[in-house]
Amino acid sequence: MKKITFCLMAGILALIIVSGCKKDKTLQHTQVSPVKNFFAPVDNKFIKLEPASGSASFEWEQAQAEDNGLVMYEVAFDKATGDFSKPVYTLPSDGNGLYNKLTISFKDLNKIADLAGIQPQETGKLKWTVMSSKGINVQKSSLSRTIEVQRAPGFSEIPADLYITGTATEGGDDLSKAIHLKQTSTGVFEAYTSLKAGALHFAERNTGTPATYSIDGVKLLKDGNTTIAGATKVERIVVDFTTASASMTEVVSVGLWFAADNKIWFNLPYVGGSSWEIDNASIVFHQESWGRDERYKFMFTLKDAAGTTSTQYYGSTNSDNSPATATTAASYYYMVPVNNSQYDYCFKFDHRADNGKADIKIIWSADVPAYTHVVTVK
């Protein structure tokens, strides 16, 4: 019995020794040298990242593997002050990591620059180096070089949604109450809302820890806050991620413009929530030889950052309409920019409103299908 036990133990020991030898041998075959020379781009090369379809090439001397086999490469990018302990971005070289060359698009370099804190349209530096390995035992080159990049105007990543929050906004600094902006085209967002003295920023969502943006003059920047001073005003805010730009235009007044009188009947006060409303407004149609004229649209008076005042009419998508009724579809009331012609692109009041009262509300929230208004005959 002792002999059998001894034989078993000897066999197990032999297996451990053999296994250990194989393991050591395998590990030896994973050893590679670090990259010792970089070819391109030259140190401090300037690269303007336009057009997005352009590309840049990074090339270096091959590393050596102890088993004379293939070596895999990754290029690491970091901030100019970084040490690659936590690079902002890494990616394999061409050929799924097998070639001693990386071809990278300006679009991806623009993204890396964004991660490194370089703002759109600004110039900044990125540091790069090369990692060699056989999947493990990664060797970082002792060399590094710098490139100077000028970012394109737009953001590399455009949020799917956008909100405005902060002490200057109607929702305060409670992110869950942030004001939703309407996306009017790809990368362009718009909101009509009041702002008071305080601070604000934009967020890609109204929960968690979203990416944020701010306005500096006419520039849209990543992170930061925008300070608002002065009295409370209603503003049209436009944020364009494709050009990294933003604007604020004061909405001075919103009036109901009656076509037959060729003038504003009354202004609608702003009531919050991207809405203007007047209650118990007197409605008296205009007497014409052919009957009673009920046509109307709206006139917005705007003031830009330079203090220049302008007007914009909003009316129907149709140049002519039938009068509204109690069963008129909601889409009838959708509002779009129109010209200043006296009678074209007007809505027509429900005839029940003539010589009576009506509540009129304009709703320009991002959460309705389209900018619209509601007329409630009293």
Average pLDDT over residues 306-318: 96
Percent of the chain whose predicted confidence (pLDDT) is above 70: 92
In the predicted model, is pLDDT for residue 233 greater than 70? yes
pLDDT at 353: 96
pLDDT at 8: 40
pLDDT at 192: 98
Confidence band for 15, pLDDT divided at 50, 70 and 90? very low
pLDDT tens for residues 64-118? 998 888 999 999 999 999 999 999 999 999 999 999 999 999 989 999 999 999 9
| Among 43, 139, 55, residue whose Cα is nearest residue 101 | 55
pLDDT at 30: 79
pLDDT at 251: 98
How far apart (Å, rounded) are the C-alpha atoms in residues 217 and 163?
Answer: 19
Query: What Å distances lie between residue 121 and 44, 82, 118, 149, 186, CA to CA?
Result: 19, 22, 9, 10, 19
CB 225 within 8 A of CB 173: no
Provide the 8-state DSSP code for 322.
Answer: P
pLDDT at 201: 98
pLDDT at 154: 86
CB 288 within 8 A of CB 212: no
Handedness of CA 225, 231, 234, 235 (dihedral sign): negative
pLDDT tens for residues 140-187? 999 999 999 999 888 888 999 999 999 999 999 999 999 999 999 999
pLDDT at 136: 84
* b (16+ CB within 10 A) / e for 289-299: eeeebbbbbbb
Confidence band for 53, pLDDT divided at 50, 70 and 90? confident
pLDDT at 17: 41
Distance, CA of 146 to chain centre: 29
DSSP 55-84: EEEEEEPPP-BTTS---EEEEEEEETT--S
pLDDT at 268: 98
pLDDT at 27: 55
Confidence band for 311, pLDDT divided at 50, 70 and 90? very high
Query: 174: which 2 tokens?
Result: 């409670």
Q: Which residue has the tokens 């009673």?
A: 292
How far apart (Å, rounded) are the C-alpha atoms in residues 218 and 226?
Answer: 11
pLDDT tens for residues 204-216? 999 999 999 999 9
How much helix, strand and coil, in percent to the nearest 5, is found in the chain? 10, 45, 45
Average pLDDT over residues 271-276: 97
pLDDT tens for residues 340-367? 999 999 999 999 999 999 999 999 999 9
Q: Does residue 337 have a cis peptide bond before it, meaning omega lies within 30 degrees of 0?
A: no
Long-range own/partner contacts, residues 134-137 (CB < 8 A, 24 or more apart): 134/29, 134/30, 134/31, 134/32, 134/65, 134/69, 134/70, 134/71, 134/72, 135/30, 135/72, 136/30, 137/27, 137/30, 137/31, 137/32
How far apart (Å, rounded) are the C-alpha atoms in residues 374 and 333?
Answer: 7
pLDDT tens for residues 36-45? 999 999 999 9
Confidence band for 13, pLDDT divided at 50, 70 and 90? very low
Q: What is the CA radius of gyration of the chain?
A: 33
